[in-house]
Chains A and B, each alone.
Chain A
């Protein structure tokens, strides 16, 4: 059986609690609390990152049309989350400071994407850079693609 849910929220930090509660409750119904927390946190980090970087605050007030769309799908084998924003594109290869990230190019059903292979562990007193590290640690597969005017992240957690 496949179960799915979707949410469409304004791209602002204050709405992420709504998203977190919904994603967590949904995943807990198909898995357990530990899985729910992991998926909630990974989705949250992708969204928080998009709000900060895809919709830069220095550009002024957040445009009304700045949205984040999240879909979560679960079957007996895996939980998959798709996070799409309509902010500016980012080039994964520019993510090298203060982080060191490794990506590979892959072909998916929706076209070319980048698969996140590795994120170097942030230094112990480093303040920034733990978001992408956490996403990689929490998920079994992390894909990013710039598609049709959107940044699309696909996160997969395989069920044990």
Chain B
């Protein structure tokens, strides 16, 4: 199953993804964790330092194309090698960072090969979790064509909920077969979450309380692999279970 964590910037997508990654590691499932946010916050939250990013792979393949004499099969084999080299592994998880795309011209063939490689790679794992870029850009670009479930993350602000609804509208058109649910994050009072739930058409599948332990890990830049069980982690794991991502 491929689950993408989406939402407005600053609502806690990366924290949710990091807690999800830790839960996957504990479950023993072989999982691919994709940091698709160019800001690369998930790598930092997990204490991972990727040696290479997918954008480095893309640049290397573009160099191969420029050098010529490589047919598509050669390129596909090379992408497989370079993507494997870009994976950082830990506790049955393989971590892949997208990196910051640079404008190096149009290389549609390379992009297609990369997309195919990621989909094939994802198919080899029991689960794939994608920490998506903020907003709707990646959904619009059909980056997430193979996603089975869109986990929309919002805080209790009306603006964040609207962004989540827009993402759902777009993803519903792009990937109509994918499921979707809203996680309301940083809930201080149950009434705040009740208000969100009564004002949105989205299905709320989880409420995650504001949690000092999570704030401390964020502020101290500690690895979420070391996060102890806390109200927020229990709620995130419960939400991922409700989404059918964790068993």
A interacts with B: no
- Chain A residues with CB under 8 Å of chain B are none
- Chain B residues with CB under 8 Å of chain A are none
